[in-house]
Amino acid sequence: MSGLCQCFKADTLAKSEGFDGLVGHRMAQDMKFQCACGALSGVVEAAGPKTGHHVACYCKDCRAFVRHLRQDARFPDAAGGTDLFQTSPARVKLTEGVEHLASLRLSPKGLYRWYASCCDTPLFNTGTGPGLPFASAMTANFVDGVAGLGPVKARVNTGSALGKVPPPKGFWPTLRAVGGLIGSLLAARLRGDQKRSPFFDAESGEPVAKARVLTLEERQAANRP
């Protein structure tokens, strides 16, 4: 019995430290991403259920982003959702093609939407400045898929979906996702992650690539039914 208890304790400790007790590997792993043409690439370090949130967003703005770049055949799912991994920008490392990193905003005060200018591949969404240290990665760009992220924990903004949304959906998954994101933001601020973002200059807080704001006509075209 004592041996069984020791095994149970070891397995519990391993999982609490981010290890899979059955196979002895960290559940979090570096996830390589790249744009469609391969000129821009990087990694999201230690990506997994304990370091971020795997969600699907059905808002019109996420769709407008990919539609404006003419990438809507690749990114949204059948109901118009975008699969995302929300994590700290400090975990994002650009390794090749940094000169191709570009950004746009759907409105003057909107989120920064980052993409690869070489082939117009949508890459990340971030806050309006480094003070909100989060980055939502478009998981379609992950070279080895999304298995390491765990299942989708919530499907948000489903009121704007274009079709039937699969579970998990509804109030409670959304509430848990929002609560988890707020907690992650606070933890990232305490760690000083806002000063370790590849998207904003650590000293000035300015974006590393000046964003182009879409015109009203461009946004209306991107929001077509």
Contact 123, 36 (CB under 8 A): no
| Separation CA 19–CA 135 (nearest Å) | 24
pLDDT tens-digit readout, 4-23 = 333 323 333 333 334 333 33
Tokens of 206: 């300015």
- Can you give the pLDDT at residue 169? 80
CATH topology of domain 26-222: 2.170.150
Residue entry with tokens 């997994």: 48
Average pLDDT over residues 38-47: 98
Contact 219, 108 (CB under 8 A): no
pLDDT tens-digit readout, 132-159 = 999 999 999 999 999 999 999 999 999 9
Q: Distance from CA of residue 183 to its chain's centroid?
A: 16
- Can you give the pLDDT at residue 75? 84
CA dihedral 207, 179, 138, 59 (to 10 degrees): -90
Q: What percent of the chain has pLDDT over 90?
A: 75
- Can you give the pLDDT at residue 1? 42
Q: Decide if pLDDT at 183 tops 50.
A: yes
Q: How confident is the model at residue 27 (pLDDT cuts 50, 70, 90)?
A: low
Average pLDDT over residues 55-68: 96
Q: 30 vs 37, 89, 93, 108, 155, CA distance in Å? A: 21, 14, 10, 34, 24
| Separation CA 141–CA 42 (nearest Å) | 10
- Can you give the pLDDT at residue 174? 85
Give this prediction's pTM.
0.85
| Separation CA 90–CA 95 (nearest Å) | 14
Domain spans of the chain, in order of start: 26-222
Contact 46, 13 (CB under 8 A): no
Q: Which class for 111: exposed (0-12), middle (13-18), buried (19 or more C-beta within 10 A)? A: buried
Average pLDDT over residues 83-102: 98
Sign, CA dihedral 141-142-145-150, equals negative
Residue 169 or residue 205, greater confidence: 205
Residue 7 or residue 196, greater confidence: 196
Average pLDDT over residues 88-112: 97
- Can you give the pLDDT at residue 41? 98
Q: For residue 141, which of 60, 75, 222 has the smallest C-alpha distance?
A: 75
Q: Going by DSSP bridges, is the β-strand pair 53-57/121-126 parallel, antiparallel, or unpaired? A: unpaired
